[in-house]
Amino acid sequence: MSAAKHKNAGFDGAVIPASSFAFDVKDANLILAHLIFSFIALFLGALAGLLQALVRAGYIVLPPMLDYYQLLTAHGVLLALVFTTFFIIGFLYSGVVKTLDGKMLASARSWAWWGFYLMLAGTIMAAITILTNDASVLYTFYAPLQASPWFYIGLVLVIVGSWFSSIAIFINYAYWRRTHKGEVSPLFAYMAVATMILWIIATIGVAVEVIFQLVPWSLGWTPRINVALSRALFWYFGHPLVYFWLLPAYIYWYVNVPRIIKGKVFSNTLPRLTFILFILYSVPVGFHHQLNEPGISNFWKFLQVVLTMIVVFPSLMTAFAIIGTFELAGRSQGAKGRFGWIRKLPWGDVRFLAPVLSMLMFIPAGAGGIVNASYQMNQVVHNTLWVTGHFHLTLATSVVLTFFGISYWLIPVLTRRTLTPGANKLGIVQSVLWIAGMLLLGITMHIVGLMGEPRRSSFSTYNDHATALSWLPYMYVIGIGGVLLFISVMLFLFAAVYLMYYAPRTDQPAEYPIGEVDESTQHPPLILERWSLWIAVTVVLVLVAYAVPIWHLMQTPLATWSPPVRTW
């Protein structure tokens, strides 16, 4: 295949012309560093996931040097915390650079590298403690299980590093606003700023937990820990964490995908409003992860359930906007009839197919989430495999598959190579395999979870109890799903390495797809860009939802706090 033939990457009618825009090598290296490290975490985390799925199905028994819960900790930390954070920051940088004058400011770049190295150092520290079996506390690290202090210090470095990374985005955005007075900021940059604001507000909770509770306690400076308080702080962070994963996928759906399908960004205002709503209503809701817990009264639990459900609005708005964009794109290309536009979409282009499969999966996944947060109904599914199934459909499908779709074009744009038709096909096969694996694994987890099978448990027949034995056939299916997913990750990594180092070089890389805003759409009101206002409203909502119950948890007598325990 000659490089010239597929210079203008774009398959099945999708459009991405070659472009004269190319990333500065310094920016490209920064972004690639984040992507490469995220892929290493993806590989190791997926390997742990494969072994877990095989153990749980009873297909294999681990060698004595490896513990199931050690693998489970590695899987959660590497995939949910490390892979996502590095990938998201890399992707956000790319769009921020592209839409804000094409270059990162030198000062911002040094913040970004500091952030990268801090997160890298923290990840390595935490990984070593997991490897030596000194931190089999899972990625939620619930006290009073006590890991090595280096595990917690590693986490602090990751969190603080990610703050440095967000400062890099803020610096570029603030500079752009100063030098483009009176202009509306580009949609991608706006959404990147919103995502990082949400991240900082969210991570304050876990930072307080780790720095003021876990680190001094694990070093032996404080003998006891307020367990209930540490859990509330963790979940203050744990829920918005899922929006930190989701929002970058939304950015891709809202801003990048319209360009690929020859459409326009539906509105310049509503996507911004959506993101503001996510900031406001993702934080004061953590108790819906703690509905069955003592120490928090029913009133506060229910209040946070109500606040949680407000997420329905930005979700409905997003569903409307995305489908509307697709339909308008199809119609502008001459589609006839009510559903003719569906056939005009570039199904054969992995950059479109991967995110569209993610969106479809998000519909049942989101519905399951409403069950989880529904006060009473939560009792039926809490801590069963249903929940594991839920975030394998949301995070591991809707978000991660979108990240795969992004990688297929972002890597070649950064390395000035081409997304070849072969690599595109490989991407389609890989995406479909991912969906197949997730349907087997995720849907079956939902079913067997409803029957009672617990999450986060090694293989067990509970003394051959009839109820537990009835779950086994489902676990066989989940095991097969795990194998398919691992094969899919391997195909993805193969494609990533190919696109990074071996795909044909080109002087004119494919254009970084940024959708144009429909000109008929109205000018976004300036108030949407008044960040201080939205942060203030968020703080008020957080105080309303959390101040009293947290104050109450802080009042528990010292004798009811817990000394450290190591039970693994």
Partner 1 sequence: MELPRYEKIWLITGSITLVIFLVLLGIMGFAMGFNPSGHMKTIAPDQVGATPPFDKPGLFTVADKEYRAVMQAKVFAFLPGEMTIPAGSKIHFEVTSPDVVHGMYIAGTNVNMMIVPGHISEFTHTFNKPGDYLILCNEYCGSGHHLMLGRIIVQ
Residues labelled catalytic: 239, 243, 390-392, 455-456
| Nearest CA among 399, 350, 401, 28 for reference residue 248 | 399
Whole-angstrom CA distances from 338 to 244, 323, 330 are 36, 13, 11
Choosing from 379, 536, 543, 547, the residue that interacts with partner 1 (CB under 8 A) is 379
> Is 485 one of the binding residues for partner 1 (CB under 8 A)?
no
Q: Which is nearer to partner 1, 80 or 97 (CB)?
A: 80
> Is 132 one of the binding residues for partner 1 (CB under 8 A)?
no
Under DSSP, is residue 118 helix (H, G, I), strand (E, B) or coil?
Answer: helix
> Is 293 one of the binding residues for partner 1 (CB under 8 A)?
yes
Handedness of CA 70, 72, 73, 79 (dihedral sign): positive
Under DSSP, is residue 565 helix (H, G, I), strand (E, B) or coil?
Answer: strand
Q: Which is nearer to partner 1, 32 or 553 (CB)?
A: 553
Under DSSP, is residue 414 helix (H, G, I), strand (E, B) or coil?
Answer: helix
Under DSSP, is residue 212 helix (H, G, I), strand (E, B) or coil?
Answer: helix
> Is 228 one of the binding residues for partner 1 (CB under 8 A)?
yes
Please choose, out of 88-96, 114-122, 378-386, 484-492, the segment that lies near partner 1 by the rule CB under 8 A: 378-386
Tell the residue number behind the tokens 């390395």, with chain if given.
415
72-101 residues near partner 1, rule: CB under 8 A: 72
> Is 568 one of the binding residues for partner 1 (CB under 8 A)?
yes
Choosing from 163, 375, 476, 498, the residue that interacts with partner 1 (CB under 8 A) is 375
Whole-angstrom CA distances from 14 to 61, 251, 261, 343, 465 are 47, 19, 5, 12, 55
Euclidean distance between CA atoms 141 and 135, whole angstroms:
8
> Is 540 one of the binding residues for partner 1 (CB under 8 A)?
no
**Which residues does residue 526 pair with via DSSP β-bridges, in sequence order?**
none
> Is 277 one of the binding residues for partner 1 (CB under 8 A)?
no
Euclidean distance between CA atoms 126 and 138, whole angstroms:
12
> Is 150 one of the binding residues for partner 1 (CB under 8 A)?
no
Q: Which is nearer to partner 1, 68 or 434 (CB)?
A: 68
H-assigned helices in 132-148: none
> Is 62 one of the binding residues for partner 1 (CB under 8 A)?
no
Note the Cα 161 to chain centre separation in Å: 17
> Is 296 one of the binding residues for partner 1 (CB under 8 A)?
yes
Number of residues interacting with partner 1: please give it, by CB under 8 A: 72
Q: Which is nearer to partner 1, 2 or 555 (CB)?
A: 555
Task: With beta carbons less than 8 A apart as the criterion, state whether 501 and 245 touch.
Answer: no
Choosing from 67, 101, 518, 529, the residue that interacts with partner 1 (CB under 8 A) is 67
Q: How far apart are the first and last CA of the chain?
A: 55
Euclidean distance between CA atoms 238 and 428, whole angstroms:
32
| Nearest CA among 497, 500, 483, 356 for reference residue 428 | 356
Q: Which is nearer to partner 1, 21 or 302 (CB)?
A: 302
Please choose, out of 17-25, 44-52, 227-235, 428-436, the segment that lies near partner 1 by the rule CB under 8 A: 227-235
Q: Which is nearer to partner 1, 312 or 429 (CB)?
A: 312
Choosing from 227, 242, 255, 496, the residue that interacts with partner 1 (CB under 8 A) is 227
Residue 157-196 contact track with partner 1, rule CB under 8 A, x = bound: ----------------------------------------
Task: With beta carbons less than 8 A apart as the criterion, state whether 276 and 534 touch.
Answer: yes
Task: With beta carbons less than 8 A apart as the criterion, state whether 7 and 418 touch.
Answer: yes
Handedness of CA 492, 59, 69, 365 (dihedral sign): positive
Choosing from 21, 69, 114, 150, the residue that interacts with partner 1 (CB under 8 A) is 69
Euclidean distance between CA atoms 153 and 132, whole angstroms:
16
Choosing from 200, 380, 436, 447, the residue that interacts with partner 1 (CB under 8 A) is 380
232-271 residues near partner 1, rule: CB under 8 A: 269-270
Q: Which is nearer to partner 1, 2 or 64 (CB)?
A: 64
Provide the 8-state DSSP code for 453: P
The pair of structure tokens assigned to 374 is 């529904």
The pair of structure tokens assigned to 41 is 């975490």
As measured in angstroms, the least distance from the Cβ of 451 to partner 1 is 7
Please choose, out of 97-105, 134-142, 254-262, 490-498, the segment that lies near partner 1 by the rule CB under 8 A: 134-142
Please choose, out of 26-34, 234-242, 284-292, 438-446, the segment that lies near partner 1 by the rule CB under 8 A: 284-292
298-337 residues near partner 1, rule: CB under 8 A: 298, 301-302, 305-306, 309, 312-313, 316-317, 320, 324
Q: Which is nearer to partner 1, 179 or 458 (CB)?
A: 458
Please choose, out of 34-42, 84-92, 226-234, 539-547, the segment that lies near partner 1 by the rule CB under 8 A: 226-234
**Which residues does residue 265 pair with via DSSP β-bridges, in sequence order?**
517
Euclidean distance between CA atoms 34 and 57, whole angstroms:
34
Choosing from 20, 520, 522, 532, the residue that interacts with partner 1 (CB under 8 A) is 522
Q: Which is nearer to partner 1, 108 or 296 (CB)?
A: 296
> Is 556 one of the binding residues for partner 1 (CB under 8 A)?
yes
In sequence order, what DSSP letters do the residues of 322-382 get, joined into one string?
HHHHHHHHHHHTT--TTTHHHHHS-TT-HHHHHHHHHHHHHHHHHHHHHHHTSTTTHHHHT
The pair of structure tokens assigned to 470 is 């009835």
Q: Which is nearer to partner 1, 109 or 288 (CB)?
A: 288
> Is 382 one of the binding residues for partner 1 (CB under 8 A)?
yes
Choosing from 102, 132, 142, 220, the residue that interacts with partner 1 (CB under 8 A) is 142
420-479 residues near partner 1, rule: CB under 8 A: 451-452, 454-460, 462-463, 465-468
Q: Which is nearer to partner 1, 33 or 277 (CB)?
A: 277
As measured in angstroms, the least distance from the Cβ of 139 to partner 1 is 11
> Is 222 one of the binding residues for partner 1 (CB under 8 A)?
no
Please choose, out of 142-150, 206-214, 347-355, 392-400, the segment that lies near partner 1 by the rule CB under 8 A: 142-150
Tell the residue number behind the tokens 């307020």, with chain if given.
226
As measured in angstroms, the least distance from the Cβ of 267 to partner 1 is 9
Provide the 8-state DSSP code for 61: -
**Which residues does residue 384 pair with via DSSP β-bridges, in sequence order?**
454
